Amino acid sequence: MFDFSPTDIQAITLSAKVASAATLAALPFGFAAAYLLVYSRLPGKPLLDGVINLPLVLPPVVVGYLLLLLLGEHGWLGGHLARWGIRIIFTWKAAVLASMVVGFPLMVRSIRIGMEGIDERLVQASRTLGARPLDTLMTVILPLSGRSIMAGATLMFARSLGEFGATILVAGNIPGITRTIPLAIYDYTNSPGGDRMALALCLVSIVLSFAILLLNEALVRRFKRERER
């Protein structure tokens, strides 16, 4: 039906790889950030909340440009990394990083809502029964946040699949290396006669996103069943 070129196939696998890596890498941080926002007594909580949510309201291009300034060869972090022989910009890692930053607020938001729904007295019960804060976190808060963590991961994965603005600035649009599905679609729509392939990749996008939604539903249902057991 559609004749995908090797670079198209690479774009599809790269997209999946970038979104998965970004989601998995962001999970511990997302959980920690949500925990701090819900349970800690940090004085600078509103500020932390603002910083975490900033990428949600900033244009992705701005996020991308700031990352470029930070990670570029003359950037503050990029310079240090270059000395260790590590280069991030214009590699797939940059695409992962861009997705992480842009999708992070969605993940934190979702986990946080779940955590806020946990009855405070369960946390108190666990503490009075001899559990230290970290113990309570691992044995009460984490298991009871399961569904919201899955929902957050799904949202972030979907957001990563669609990430364009920040990615194109920090990772570029190098076929086979940093060209993800959205970038490939953009390319096709800019070249004559590319409409058909653009549509084909759109379909792939839809199928992938839908599959993720179904997977999430199945996981949530299984999680619920396990809890009921």
d(CA 113, CA 18): 26
Burial class (CB in 10 A: 0-12, 13-18, 19+), 132: exposed
End-to-end alpha carbon distance in the chain: 46
Position among 46, 51, 79, 132 found at the interface with other proteins (CB under 8 A) = 132
Question: Can you tell me which of 128, 190, 193, 225 binds other proteins, judged by CB under 8 A?
Answer: 128
Give the x-and-dash track for 199-228 against other proteins (CB under 8 A): ----------------------------xx
8 Å CB contact between 146 and 223: yes
Q: Which stretch binds other proteins (CB under 8 A): 48-56, 94-102, 119-127, 184-192?
A: 119-127
For 72-104, letters b (16+ CB in 10 Å) and e give: beebeebeeebeeeeebbbbbbbbbbbbbbbbb
Stretch 41-80: interaction string toward other proteins, x if CB under 8 A: ----------------------------------------
**Residues 83, 19, 174: CA angle, nearest 5 degrees:** 60
- Pick from 119, 174, 213, 214: which binds other proteins (CB under 8 A)? 119
Q: How many residues line the site for other proteins (CB under 8 A)? A: 20
Interacting residues toward other proteins by CB under 8 A: 119, 121-122, 124-132, 135, 139-140, 143-144, 227-229
